[in-house]
Structure 1
Amino acid sequence: MAFVPAPGYQPAYNPPIPYTTMIAGGLRVGMVVCVQAKLPSDYNRWAINFATGQENSADIAFHLNARYDGRDRVVFNSRQGDVWGEEEMKREMPFKSGKVFMVTFEVTRNNFQVFANGAPFYEFAHRIPLDRVGWLQLVGDIQVEELSIIGSGPAVKGGLVLAAAQSNLLPMLGPPILNAPVPFSTSIRGGFIPKRTVVVKGILKSRAKTFTINFKVGYNNDIALHLILRLNKKAVVRNSFINGAWGEEETAVTKNPFKEGEYFDISFRCGEKSIKAYVNGTHCFDYAHRLYNFQQVDKLDIDGDANIVFVFM
């Protein structure tokens, strides 16, 4: 059962490197790009480019280049007309061998804000207008586990052709919520109605014991879906809390992908009869609606032993 991302959310899992992808609808203020990756056994340098085209010769609005040569550093630059601009540099290397790392880019009106493993790392002022940027390139000595382009879609340059399966889904509304503190609570604008998607990406802490996500009815605190990871029992448990009582737990999964100290992303897709959950792009479970008026679900609560990378809905 393949996962079809909703318009506005553009993930890729384990893409081959070098990898080039179009940014659907073009780059704009408020968009976020997350790259979850690790280094291969033999490495020297890698780069992520926000480019104006898919060709190697295309102008590059932002070039992040990690270099490992005994003077480890991260270099930032841009290129126009085959001419590189003035190089900027940070002599700090948060992207280390033997450990999965996360580099996140947030596009603001004035710059690219870069986060390394959830912490602010660098700001690079725009040198090329954002409306020229429409492609993302990943090259060099890097193994990408997941790439997520968040906030992409047809709202900018018009005329984006969607796959038939996507055209039946509601677009992601955004904006994404980055590095949300845990415990975390937010409203679901418009409610968790059929064809809507909610994505939660995070990393489970070392020695994590539990982690919970609740889809709730705000006015009476009924829980349409209570997902709790019991890491010590390797259990992915689902239940509902309706009219003051818990129901029967469900534990069967296609595959349990949750491990202490590892990243995860969960996409919840609401349907007419059930909620489908996909973890890291793979189907994990279906949960049949137990709340009769499930369209009233309008609140998302998150708690437990994890750090949140982003919440997007």
Structure 2
Amino acid sequence: MAYVPAPGYEPTYNPTLPYCRPIPGGLRVGMSVYIQGVASEHMKRFFVNFVAGQEPGADIALHFNPRFDGWDKVVFNSQQAGNWGNEERKRSMPFNKGAAFELVFMVMAEHYKVVVNGNPFYEFGHRIPLQMVTHLQVDGDLQLQSINFIGGPAPPHQGPMHHPPFPGPGHGHHYPHQQLNSLPSMEGPPTFNPPVPFRGRLQGGLTARRTVIIKGYVPPTGKSFSINFRAGPSGDIALHVNPRVAEGNVVRNSFLKGSWGSEERNISYNPFSPGQFFDLSIRCGQDRFKVYANGQHLFDFSHRLSAFQNVDTVEIEGDVTLSYVQI
């Protein structure tokens, strides 16, 4: 059962270094690039480049370069016609050697906004038109867990109810050997760094093929958190996902007509560890929920609430920090 990303959400999991790949549909205002990884224990430098082309010597619109060299700092620059521009430096180091991190580049009209572990870090004004940027490069003293392009193009011929997460021109993606009506969809706008507890309404209710994306972080002292798919005023919970970090379990259940059902616990691996980031995709199928973590199948949960369309709220609470939710 292959993982199918929702439109506008283009992930690559566990990519090898050096990383250099096209940005799906090109760069545009409203797009975000999420990079999750772990800094090397012996980290000296790494870089992220937004590049105009893939040939050697291509212009670099943004060069992001943390340096652990006794004068810890992050260097920002651009390169045009082989020449570096004026360096901008921030003498602050948001990365820790050996520690997991989440680095986000938000593409704004005037600048790139850089966010590290949920905290705004720097804004780098555009020196090269962002429409010229085609590729992303990453290399250096780090290990990559995932790179996600969010706000990319939606596939063509979507129904009238679907809107891409962000407006903007783009090239339609084609999904070979796949019926469009079997593709997942995301209806609502994304929420960045929402507070916990989180409550989001599923506009139009839960429909088959609908996908909920949750990106977050388990604090080092985290013990437990939960994700609930709740159905209206009845109080019914169609799916309750409860990572119990201290126990190493991921408990699933339902709460129907005032009673909890039978717990399900079997998983092949556990993505919820203290001090780690996770990337969760929860897709509603006709007969079950299909849940993926970091691109790997985690578990299925057969529908116990037959009228799953009545689910209208997603709740997230407990020991978790959220960086991105889209429902």
TM-score, normalising length: structure 2: 0.89
Q: Which amino acid aligns with 1:212?
A: S
SS at match of 1:254: coil
Indicate how the Cα distance of structure 1 residues 57 and 188 shifts in structure 2: closer, same or farther if over 3 A, else same.
farther
- Aligned residue among 208, 213, 223 for 1:194: 208
Report what 2:144 is aligned to. 144
- 8 Å contact from structure 1 (residues 4, 166) kept in 2: no
Matches within 5 A, 1:1-313: 1-154=1-154, 156-165=169-178, 167=180, 168-173=182-187, 175-313=189-327
**Aligned residue pair count:** 313
Unaligned runs of 5+ in 1: none
CA contact (8 A) 1:115 1:122 kept: yes
Q: Displaced runs of 4+ in structure 1, greater than 6 A?
A: none
1:115-150 CA distances to partner (integer Å, 9 max, x unpaired)?
Answer: 111111001112222222222111222211111111
Note the C-alpha offset of 1:232: 3.1
Q: 1:128 to 1:286 in 2, by over 3 A?
A: same
SS at the partner of 2:246? helix
Q: Distance in 2 between matches of 1:107 and 1:218?
A: 36
1:178 to 1:38, Cα distance in 2 relative to 1, 3 A: same
RMSD between aligned residues:
1.9
Range that drifts further, 8-17 or 80-89: 80-89
Q: Structure 2 CA distance, aligned partners of 1:89 and 1:5?
A: 36
Q: What's the CA shift for 1:55? A: 2.5
Change (3 A) 1:159 1:11: closer
Q: State whether residues 203 and 307 of structure 1, in contact with CA within 8 Å, keep that contact through their aligned partners in structure 2.
A: yes
Q: Quote the Cα distance in structure 2 between the aligned partners of 1:49 and 1:173.
A: 31
Question: Does the C-alpha gap of structure 1 residues 53 and 188 become closer, same or farther in structure 2, counting only changes over 3 Å?
Answer: farther
Alpha-carbon shift at residue 201 of structure 1 (Å): 1.2
Secondary structure of 1:301 counterpart: strand
Q: Please give the TM-score of this superposition, normalised by the length of structure 1.
A: 0.93
Measured in 2, the distance between the counterparts of 1:206 and 1:166 equals 42
**Cα distance in 2 for residues equivalent to 1:141 and 1:106:** 23
Query: Contact 1:7–1:166 (CA<8 Å) still a contact in 2?
Result: no
Structure 2 gaps of 5+ residues are 155-167
Rounded Cα–Cα distance in structure 2 between residues aligned with 1:38 and 1:108? 26
- Answer whether contact 1:5 1:166 (CA < 8 A) is retained: no
Give the secondary-structure state (helix, strand or coil) at the position aligned to 1:232: coil
